[in-house]
Chains A and B, each alone.
Chain A
Amino acid sequence: MASANRPVERPLSPHLQIFRPIITMVMSILHRVTGMALYIGMALLAWWLAAAAAGPEYYAVVSAFLASWIGRLILFGFTWALLHHLLGGIRHLVWDAGYGFDLPTANAMSWATIIGSAVLTILVWGVGYLVM
């Protein structure tokens, strides 16, 4: 006789590769990926703040690294990840509030996340270069 503790054989959900990518799914994955990138990137912020507190000599070292091409590339990626996660987070808050579940709205918000994050990243860097 079947044991009550044996797991019921339920159908398994197909894995990510099986589905054709759709914008809401891609944005969902990007939200997690940008979150993980920001997690690591926060070490950079702590390092920068610590350098500012440590004094001019050490700050110059950190500043030189951040101003190098690799430093700028990391900061550019950090900016985009931050803005993407910010806009994606707002989209999730709208959903949490119970709005925007119909497909046209959900898709529009997803496209707004990716396009908005790209436009805002360029805008932030444009302003940055102007004030520099």
Chain B
Amino acid sequence: MSQQMRTPLGRARGLGSARDGTEHFWRQRVTSVALVPLVVFFLMVVVALTGADHARVAATLSSFWIAIPMMLVVLVAAAHMRLGMQVIVEDYVHAPIPKYLLLMANTAFCALIGLVGVSALLMLMLGGR
């Protein structure tokens, strides 16, 4: 059948969807809801530690009930910012190779932030130093 005879729906059918539907939107919402109390907690901790020396910072961050939510702050923020930067890249970068390289760099950066933050907090909590 010639192309002209096909309806727009007919042309689109069978090409497949993006496959993840509302998954990205939903994960952005889940992480943002979680970050509301986490950011408030984070600000209280850093404000309480203003001008503190290393001993007090280490003692505070290594306490179980500070370290666990702080790890959540780092992990949820890393997930949230990966989703956000992904949208920004997809909005403005259209050439395939730069786009995919930037998307990979985005994932790598966010994974690094999450790993460094959580490792540091684990070291403090488990008394590495």
B47 and A131 form a contact (CB under 8 A): yes
B120 and A53 form a contact (CB under 8 A): yes
B36 and A3 form a contact (CB under 8 A): no
Q: Give the contact-size bracket for chain B.
A: 35 or more
B residues 35-54 in Cβ contact with A at 8 Å: 35-36, 39, 43, 47-48, 50-51, 53-54
Question: At the interface, is chain A mostly helix, strand, loop or mixed?
Answer: helix
CA distance A39 to B78 in the complex (A): 9
Q: Does B4 sit within 8 A of A, measured CB to CB? A: yes
Residues of B within 8 A of A127 (CB): 47
Total residues of chain A contacting the partner, CB 8 A: 40
Q: Does B129 sit within 8 A of A, measured CB to CB? A: yes
Q: Does B113 sit within 8 A of A, measured CB to CB? A: yes
CA distance A61 to B55 in the complex (A): 14
Selected A-B contacts with CB under 8 Å, 7 pairs: A2-B4, A39-B81, A39-B84, A42-B81, A49-B117, A93-B32, A96-B29
